[in-house]
Amino acid sequence: MLKRYRGIIRNCFAEELTYREHFIVMLLISVVYYIVLYFVWKAIYAGSGSSINGQTFADTFVNLALTSCLVQCLSSEIEWNIHFTILDGNIIIKMVRPLNYMMYMLSEKIGYVITHIITNGIPVFLVVMILFPGYLHPGWNIVMFVFCMCLSFLMMFCLEFMAGVFAFYTQSVWGISTIKNVVVGFFAGSNVPLSFFPEGLYRIAQILPFKSMYHEPLRMLMDTSMDAHAYIRVIGFQFGWCILLMAAAWILFKIMSKRLDINGG
């Protein structure tokens, strides 16, 4: 059974690398995004002094660039895969196979995310380490970082999967996918540093899972003052949200699968 899921992972990984035009376009979009991010915040700091909320331009740019990189690496938008298989009727083929549908979609996401890490994540982190030395402190904390990012991956999958199964009823994921992307990006701190948030919004960010998905794992690589208690607190918070989201995704799938209406085929 596991061999079948490994085959799905390999196929999705190969599919992402096969379409070179798509790969080149996405790479160019990422480069343009980081350039725009650099000059926008450079302009903000030029008009506000050398420090804002205790953070220099380099502090802010490195934090936003790496957070955005992590968000992009873990975002494969599985909900759109589900959406298109509903429209063309292929959803039935996937659901009648002797495979768990949720695990099938998880395997697809793993394949996509591995590609994103190789083509986007590793290069961005290396560039940051070269251009902004002293911000990342890789060591044994890499193990904790990778473990936390695995939990973040599972949480992101659950969010995308839930957005996708809504299409069983709505026939479209455009609205809910857009809302998901905006909320995740905003409360993860990929658009504006979390330290810049008003007190009320910051308290909300503390409760929601998105800060722990990206900001906290990244802090493990950047903040040398984190102790064992801080690591345990982050992992425990992530693990709790992971269990909650997995249960919610499974329950929602069971409910929405009874409302599935096929247009294609």
208: three-class secondary structure by DSSP: coil
Q: How many CA atoms lie within 13 A of 192 on its CB side?
A: 14
As a whole number of Å, the end-to-end CA separation of the chain is: 27
Token readout for 131 is 């251009």
Beta-carbon neighbour count of residue 220 at 10 Å? 22
Whole-number Å distance between alpha carbons of 66 and 70: 6
Domain ranges of the chain: 2-259
- In degrees rounded to 5, what are phi and psi of residue 162? -65, -40
**What pLDDT score does 138 carry?**
83
pTM value surpassing 0.85: yes
Q: Do residues 185 and 74 make contact, with C-beta atoms less than 8 angstroms apart?
A: no
Residues 6+ apart with CB under 8 A from 208: 187
Q: Do residues 109 and 160 make contact, with C-beta atoms less than 8 angstroms apart?
A: yes
Q: Do residues 92 and 262 make contact, with C-beta atoms less than 8 angstroms apart?
A: yes
**What pLDDT score does 47 carry?**
79
Q: Do residues 120 and 69 make contact, with C-beta atoms less than 8 angstroms apart?
A: yes
Token readout for 196 is 């810049």
Could you report the average pLDDT of every consecutive run of 10 residues in the chain (265 residues)? Answer: 80 76 79 90 84 86 91 88 83 80 91 89 90 87 92 95 87 88 90 88 92 91 87 94 96 85 57
What string of H, E and C letters represents the secondary structure of 31-81?
HHHHHHHHHHHHHHHHCCCCEECCEEHHHHHHHHHHHHHHHHHHCCCHHHH
Q: How many helices (H) and strands (E) does the chain have?
A: 14, 2
Q: Do residues 120 and 72 make contact, with C-beta atoms less than 8 angstroms apart?
A: yes
Query: Bridge partners of 56?
Result: 51
- pLDDT tens readout for residues 101-137: 899 999 999 998 998 898 889 989 999 999 999 888 8
- pLDDT tens readout for residues 233-260: 999 999 999 999 999 999 999 988 887 7
Token readout for 205 is 């960010």
